[in-house]
Amino acid sequence: MKRSGKIYRNNEASVMKMLGLNPTPNSGSGWIVKEDGESEDIICQLKSTDANSIRVDKKDIDTLIYHGIVSHKVPIFAIQFLKDNEVYLLVRPDDLYDVSRLMQGDRIEAKEIVLEETDKKQISKKCIKSSYDARRTFIDENDSKFKKRSKSAKWK
């Protein structure tokens, strides 16, 4: 039998509390608070499954890292297998020492985050400028492209 969303939400809250984090309202789907749980120094995303394997998308990890950069927190990706109730943490090697200290309750010095060139490309949004001439050219090209090629039979 498939589990309901309420069970997953309650499970998410209990896992976040077990990790010493505060669960976020609506699993971080709001404008201000993101991801599934956070503390002053950590932001965490939880993915849980009833299956024996789990798929983690790079996009999910990149989103977590982006939210960590924006909120100046260390990102942690938690994976839970519900059959065994096992929880595993996915952390970048650079953050492993900081995460272990934070999980023990220690404080760490705030790091200055330097965005690499690839990070800047992911964060920046494309700006499309438009003008009347550009719109008119586009419309004309589409009209000629999709114009009826042959005439239909007409009654005389």
DSSP track, 84-142: TTEEEEE--GGGHHHHHHHHTT---PPPPP---HHHHHHHS-------HHHHHHHHHHH
Structural domain count of the chain: 1
pLDDT tens digits along 65-97 = 888 888 888 889 999 998 888 899 888 888 888
> 86 lies in a domain?
yes
Amino acid at 151: K
DSSP state, 149? S
Dig out the tokens for 16 from the structure.
């976040």
> 14 lies in a domain?
yes
| pTM metric for this prediction | 0.61
Residue with tokens 């239909």: 152
> 70 lies in a domain?
yes
Pair 48, 8: CB distance under 8 Å: yes
> 115 lies in a domain?
yes
Question: pLDDT-derived band of residue 103, with 50, 70 and 90 as boundaries?
Answer: confident
pLDDT tens digits along 122-134 = 555 566 667 888 8
pLDDT at 77: 92
Domain containing residue 18: 5-144
